[in-house]
Amino acid sequence: MSLFSVLSLRGVELRNRIVVSPMCQYSCLERDGMANDWHLVHLGALARGGSALVFTEATAVEPCGRTAAVDLGLWDDRQIEPLQAVSRFIRRQGAVPGIQLAHAGRKAATVLSTMVERPGDRWTPVGPSPLAFGDKPVPSELDRDGIGRVVQAFSHATRRARDAGFEVVEIHAAHGYLVHQFLSPVSNRRTDAYGGSFQGRCRLLLEVVDAVRSVWPDDHPVFVRVSATDWVPSGGWDIDQSVELARLLGGASQNCGARQHPFFPISAHPA
Ligand SMILES: Cc1cc2nc3c(=O)[nH]c(=O)nc-3n(C[C@H](O)[C@H](O)[C@H](O)COP(=O)(O)O)c2cc1C
C-alpha cells in the first residue's frame, strides 16, 4: 500500500489516498445556498490537482443550520442543478465528488468580518439545550418534532446529493456543530431520550446515519466526521466515547468511514 495506490470503498474506487477535506468558502453571496462559479473553480481546481476524493464544504441541510448565511446548502431541489455541474467536472478530472452534509446548531448564523451584513444574516439558532456558544444567542432547544425535522432534513439533502451526482456523503458530526452538540455532555443537558447516557447522546447521530443510509446507494460509502475529543479536562466527549461510537456506527451503518484527528486539540471555547 502506498499514497498513490488505489483504494476501494464499497463500489467507489479512489485513484490514490489523497482526500480534500471540506472547507467552508462563504461564497454564496446571494444567501441562497446555491453553488456558483466560485465552487466550480475552487473544487474543480482541487480535482485537477490529482486528489482522489474532493469534498464540498459543509453543506447545510436546512437554512437555520448554516454556519453563516453565505454557506452552501442543499435544502431545496433548485440547489441540485448547480451542484451537479460541480460533481460532473470533478468526475471528469478522474476524482470522486464527495459532499459533507451539515447542521451548525447553536454555532449557526455567524456574521463574518468579510461579510457585508444584510437583513436576515442573524437568526436564533437551535441546539440540544438552551446553552449559548460564546457570545452567540441562546439557542432554542429542539423538541422531538424539531429533532425529527433535522433527521428528515439530512435524509432529503442526501437524496438531493445523490441526484446531484455525488458518490460519497459525509455527515458532519464534529467541530461543535449540531450533531456534536448532541454527542457532548458539555452542550447536551437534555433529560429525555436524546441526552444523558452515552446511548442517549448518540441517538440523534444514529438516527441521521440510518436516514442517510436508507436513501444513499448501497454501493456508495457514508462517512461520519467526529471530533475524537472535546479536549476538556473532564466531563466532555473523549477518545473512549469516540471508540465506542465507531463500534456503534459500524453496526448501524454497515461500514461508515471514520476519519478522526485524536492528536489535534480543539478548543472548547470560541476561536
Ligand atoms: C478555510 C477552512 C474551512 C473549513 N471548513 C470545514 C468544513 O466545512 N467542514 C469540516 O469538517 N472541516 C472544515 N475545515 C477543517 C478542514 O477540513 C481540516 O480538517 C483542517 O483544515 C485540518 O486539515 P489538515 O489536517 O489537513 O491540516 C475547514 C478548514 C479551513 C482551513
What pLDDT does 134 receive?
Answer: 95
Report how far ligand 1's centroid is from the alpha carbon of 23 (Å): 5
What pLDDT does 33 receive?
Answer: 98
Q: Is 42 in the pocket of ligand 1 (CB under 6 A)?
A: no
Instruction: Look up cell 488505489; give the residue.
Output: 6
Report how far ligand 1's centroid is from the alpha carbon of 21 (Å): 6
8-state DSSP, 100: E
Residues in the chain: 271
What pLDDT does 252 receive?
Answer: 61
Q: Is 72 in the pocket of ligand 1 (CB under 6 A)?
A: no
- Residues 231/266, Cβ–Cβ less than 8 Å: yes
Top mutation candidate among 21, 39, 54, 175 for ligand 1, by most atoms within 8 Å of CB = 21
Write the CATH number of the domain with boundaries 11-109+124-227.
3.20.20.70
Measured by CA distance, the residue closest to atom 20 of ligand 1 is: 21
What pLDDT does 22 receive?
Answer: 98
pLDDT digits (tens, 9 = 90+) for 61-83: 999 999 999 999 999 999 999 99
Active site residues: 177
Q: Is 57 in the pocket of ligand 1 (CB under 6 A)?
A: yes
**One-letter amino acid of 155:** S
Q: Is 98 in the pocket of ligand 1 (CB under 6 A)?
A: no
- Ligand 1 atom nearest to CA at 172: 11
Report how far ligand 1's centroid is from the alpha carbon of 120 (Å): 26
Report how far ligand 1's centroid is from the alpha carbon of 20 (Å): 9
| Per-residue pLDDT of the chain in tens (271 residues, 90 and over written 9) | 799 999 999 999 999 999 999 999 999 999 999 999 999 999 999 999 999 999 999 999 999 999 999 999 999 999 999 999 999 999 999 999 999 999 999 999 999 999 999 999 999 999 999 999 999 999 999 999 999 999 999 999 999 999 999 999 999 999 999 999 999 999 999 999 999 999 999 999 999 999 999 999 999 999 999 999 999 999 999 999 999 999 999 876 544 444 444 444 444 444 3
Q: Which residues of 4-43 are buried (b: 16+ CB within 10 A; e: fewer)?
A: eeeeebbebebbbebbbebebbbebeebbbbbbeebbebb
Q: Is 225 in the pocket of ligand 1 (CB under 6 A)?
A: yes
C-alpha cell at 44: 474543480
Determine the distance from the C-alpha atom of residue 143 to the mean position of all C-alpha atoms in its chain, rounded to a whole number. 21
